[in-house]
Amino acid sequence: MGNIHDQAMQYIYQQVLQRLLEHLSQAQKASLQLLIQRLIVTAGGSERIRDLRLMFVLDASQSSAQALACVRAAQLSIAARSPGTFQLRIATAWQAGMSATTLANIESTFSRLFMHDDPRIDLLVLDAGQLMPYEHRRAPSAEQRQAERQELLLCGHLAGDAPHWVNFASHGYLHLAELALQALRWKGGVDAIISAECLVDRRRYLAWSRRSLRNADLLGVRPIHSCAASLLEGLSELHTRYLNLLHGQEPPAPQPVTPDNDFRPALRFISIDDLVFDGDASHGERLNRFLGYRFDEQAFSCERSGAANPLLLAHLQGLRAEFIDNTRYRDGIDAYLQHVRCSLQRKGVPTAVQTRLFTAWQPSALEQRRVEANDFASRAYGLSEAQLVCQLFSPFMGRGLQLEAFLRRCHPGMLVAVPYLHKALRGQPAPEPVVQWLVDISGLPLPMLQSLYSRRPLNQRSVDCLLTSLQARGADLRHLQVRVADSRFLQDVQVGVRR
């Protein structure tokens, strides 16, 4: 029975490989042999390929899914011509804030590549800080949803008057780094990390990582550019500090780094971007059809799922225009779309694709987009539009400096309770209905509100503030022009650059 099962599985793998090869472009099929050769060299020869353990981070973007398809083609091709093939560990981005289309794309990619039942494949996700096997029928835990909800709200309250697309850049990369590190250490580790990021993106990511770790005094003895594990370990520590600062918990002072007599060999890093991508859009669409990968208009401006949902970011800018700037919801959307358009032009996205992306944001469709954004916020985070508007005002920051303005604009009936609201935020006795109103309107527990009450917005902090430098990055890790103030002056700076 065991032999019959093995033969049946081998037949299925051959069929998957054949169909996959039919949907690769001519250039990708030609490069497949070079990819196989690169992996065999990494293993130390074809006779050792079955012992090679590789890790791939799937960030749910289209380019990531297509690169994974090429890696799978290499794995199955080697298995078809030799007794064994390499082991593949896939660390999968998986969060409550991902759109339904993105989650469906991940599952469809795994299913079409027949990865679920292959013992040579490990599919892993990170939920509430715990690594576990991927299971598409399991929703993110309540703890994961709460953590994402609080991170979203705290970022909004701390933002002050900065655009909300400023606040969801670096944190996505830190989440992915934490995922990669835990997957890297799982069950004996791996021999190499395989990456399809282009050289420009890799250099920008490495430069951002080195600058961020240097600002946090977290650079270790081993240079991060020499070992992927050292880089991920540093970013994991930075992720912990980021969350501590976000929640108002000052992290302990960094300890001096001393040699630890760690003689582990540097983890190998295999770049395959030169072998897996074809610039012909028609071939890319053909591979997408095989993978069941659907275009996601909610994720058009930042493919990496670690970043906040773009639909929600656009919605927040529309709400800011309506409730704070006293203009129109549409004006805020237009400002966000202009930001996105500039980003897409820098990436060289074809005009036809851009036109398709922005079709869903025609003025006649804005009300429907608003409904969709509110539905998403409710499903993913349990947040209402009123709670989203609350964070835009940052009414509790700086001893409640904007509290009366918020009440006057959105909740005039609560103006009579201002003294009691301040008492509750200071930790003094206050009527229970007042306390409950604060929790309900903000979506945050009272201790977090009291912490915000004693803090200043990021745009009133020094440029050297670690939280400020981590927040003020675009989805492509480029510097954003953000107004930053200290007690003496207000000026435009490039956040993260020491002068």
CB-hemisphere CA count at 13 Å for 391? Answer: 28
430 has pLDDT over 90: yes
Confidence band of 339 (pLDDT split at 50, 70, 90)? confident
Residue 370 structure tokens:
């608003």
Which residue would you say has higher pLDDT here, 62 or 89?
89
d(CA 106, CA 97): 14
Instruction: Check residue 162 and give its pLDDT.
Output: 62
Question: Highest mean pLDDT range out of 215-224, 230-239, 437-446?
Answer: 437-446
Task: Say what the alpha-carbon torsion angle 351, 354, 21, 30 is, to the nearest 10 degrees.
Answer: 40
Residue-wise burial string across 21-60, b where 16 or more C-beta atoms lie within 10 A, e elsewhere: eebbbeebeebbeebbebbbebbeebeebbebbbbbbbbb
d(CA 125, CA 135): 9
Lowest-confidence segment of 83-87, 112-116, 309-313 by average pLDDT: 309-313
Average pLDDT, the chain: 84
Q: What is the pTM of this model?
A: 0.87
The per-residue pLDDT for range 350-400, each reduced to its tens digit, is 777 778 778 888 888 899 999 999 999 999 999 999 999 999 999 999 999
The per-residue pLDDT for range 163-200, each reduced to its tens digit, is 555 545 577 888 889 999 999 999 989 999 999 988 88
The per-residue pLDDT for range 144-164, each reduced to its tens digit, is 999 999 998 998 898 766 655
Instruction: Check residue 253 and give its pLDDT.
Output: 62
Residue 224 structure tokens:
């991060």
Sign of the Cα torsion 286, 289, 295, 299 reads: negative
Instruction: Check residue 359 and give its pLDDT.
Output: 82
Residue 433 structure tokens:
């209905």
Average pLDDT, integer, range 138-143 = 91
Which residue would you say has higher pLDDT here, 248 or 36?
36
Comparing C-alpha atoms, which of 421, 354, 426 is closest to residue 390? 421
Q: Report yes or no: 232 and 209 within 8 Å, Cβ to Cβ.
A: no
User: Could you count the other beta carbons within 10 Å of the beta carbon of residue 392?
Assistant: 23
d(CA 168, CA 156): 10
Residue 52 structure tokens:
């090679």
**Contacts for 429 with CB less than 8 Å, ≥ 6 apart:** 423
User: Could you count the other beta carbons within 10 Å of the beta carbon of residue 340?
Assistant: 22
Instruction: Check residue 456 and give its pLDDT.
Output: 81
The per-residue pLDDT for range 89-130, each reduced to its tens digit, is 999 988 888 888 888 999 999 999 999 989 999 999 999 999
The per-residue pLDDT for range 244-279, each reduced to its tens digit, is 888 988 766 655 555 444 556 778 899 999 998 876
For the chain, percent of residues with pLDDT exceeding 90: 51
Instruction: Check residue 486 and give its pLDDT.
Output: 35
Sign of the Cα torsion 355, 358, 359, 362 reads: negative
Confidence band of 438 (pLDDT split at 50, 70, 90)? very high
Instruction: Check residue 95 and give its pLDDT.
Output: 86
